[in-house]
Structure 1
């Protein structure tokens, strides 16, 4: 029974994460909404739904968030939206996921963890896949959008690292989302001349913030205690695949050979790195 519950919750969370890419790309491709307005509405909607979730639980768990983490969250959301002005859903999700994992793996190495030979091979394979995806050519994704999405992934990786051990994850995320609201307001004010809104774009942004982000994160944090650490890391490999499939089926995006090969290299390489957690250098020397 617990296996069914963990599998169901995990599947819903991965669908929600992939849904963020699909909703954002659909809004910026097929509606009139601008990227800054999408970001602001998404963050405000996410803050509201997470606040309601925390209030409904009425637990004594600790965690309130902080401004540096909120800024990293805002940088992720802003870069994410701006990147999806030009990137297909699957490509964007792949770049985002690769940058998140690379940031976290890089931090682990800097903190003293040592990779095994197979893990070094995986890291090189993932890097080669990223280079191959971005090389100039007819099917190469736009460079500006790619760099924005990589920056968004780095910001999300920093946000994830800062959130470790800082209290109840849902409460912390709610607090950080609330802190992004004034940042989103400033962004919208700075770019008010580019503001464009329509009902469909606003609906996509609300769905992205309230459902795919707010409720999606709450579901994920409920599922995490039921998963082993390695499983929690590897199951996220499914997100770019789901996003790419959704982009093809729902948004009519092409599935190129370059994206397929790069996906296998990047996701396969990261899987080699995270399937077996490396030991800290001090532990290995004892």
Structure 2
């Protein structure tokens, strides 16, 4: 059991890194393609990765109600969430967006506690808050510069995306307990692709060729393939541990974005990044501890 729990946390960590890398890649191409079009291509590519399990899921007997709920959650998590995130990334930097999106586990923890799905312990709250502080320290001056521009619309869009993800992370759990992970993920993603087809068409995706060069298409391909793999890991982690313990690893996404800036863009590796990384790691340790703690 401990081994499976450790594997679930490793899967959650891999997803956190994937989200950060995809956010940087999204920022690279989002100005050249509509947000709905990018979201459609992202999950159409990811859907191809999950086509085999979708075909296999014919043998898995979903009840009609459960199937509609799973598809509805897919529309919220992949359609609405990504559309809001992409719109937000048109207005604010990926660095600031990553910090705002790192409130995802805090929202998840509160929603799970309100629904009686999880205990709200002092240790867990301290761990989540410490990861957010660590992210803020790592981003440092870049966060201050961006926050001074007053781009509140972009910030609200990203926070709305995080709220969508938090709600879905809590509500997925019962269906992951009833059905295999891959079919659940495949049906959810298929629903999102169908939902995104209409707004992508309104942006002209199916009538005009996007203004993307070869590097832009490679970025889109990376975003799609990594999203397919990341989503399967995400659902598998949610199946085997609590939503807060999974979503807290999203704090790795802004750290990943900062380190990619050092590697790919030649940005300096500052003391703030290293200190923030220590804070995030300490927060993750606190938030994922199994020791019982009293309710607040």
Post-superposition CA distance 1:17-36 (Å, at most 9, x none): 3322122122226xx22323
CA spacing shift, 1:110–1:85, aligned 2, 3 Å: same
Give the direction of change, closer, same or farther, for the CA distance of 1:257–1:110 in structure 2 (3 Å limit): farther
Asked if 2 retains the 8 angstrom alpha-carbon contact of 1:114 and 1:278, the reply is no
Equivalent in the alignment of 1:103: 107
Aligned to 1:161: 170
Q: Which residue does 1:38 correspond to in 2? A: 38
Structure 1 gaps of 5+ residues are none
Aligned to 2:254: 240
Shift of 1:220: 4.5
Q: Distance in 1 between matches of 2:113 and 2:86?
A: 30
SS for the counterpart of 2:33 is coil
Q: Does the 8 Å contact 1:36/1:191 carry over to 2?
A: yes
User: Which of 140, 143, 147 is the aligned partner of 1:140?
Assistant: 147
For 1:169 and 1:189, how far apart are their aligned partners in 2? 30
Relative to 1, partners in 2 of residues 1:130 and 1:69: Cα closer, same or farther, differing over 3 Å? same
Deviations 1:54-89 (A, max 9, x none): 447997486856342123121111112122224333
Q: Residue 154 of structure 1: CA displacement?
A: 0.9
Contact preservation (8 Å) 1:64, 1:171: no
CA distance in 1, matches of 2:272, 2:90: 20
**CA positional deviation for 1:48:** 2.3
Whole-angstrom CA distance in 1 between matches of 2:125 and 2:17: 30
1:173-212 equivalence runs, <5 A: 173-192=185-204, 196-200=210-214, 201-209=216-224, 211-212=225-226
Range moving further from structure 2, 265-274 or 86-95: 265-274
Q: Rate the CA distance shift 1:279–1:186 in 2: closer, same or farther, 3 A.
A: farther
Q: Indicate yes or no: 2:89 matched with 1:84.
A: yes
CA contact 2:42–2:220 (8 Å) conserved in 1: yes
TM-score of the two chains, using structure 2 as the length reference: 0.70
Structure 2 segments unaligned to the other structure (5+ residues): none
How far did 1:121 drift?
A: 5.0
Change (3 A) 1:129 1:51: same
Count of residues in Structure 1 that have an aligned counterpart in Structure 2: 276
Instruction: Provide the rounded CA distance (Å) in 1 between the counterparts of 2:131 and 2:250.
Output: 15
CA contact (8 A) 2:17 2:250 kept: no
| Aligned CA-pair RMSD | 4.4
> How high is the TM-score relative to the length of structure 1?
0.72
Distance 2:288 2:222 in 1: 31
CA distance in 1, matches of 2:128, 2:232: 30
Distance change (3 Å), C-alpha of 1:9 and 1:123? closer
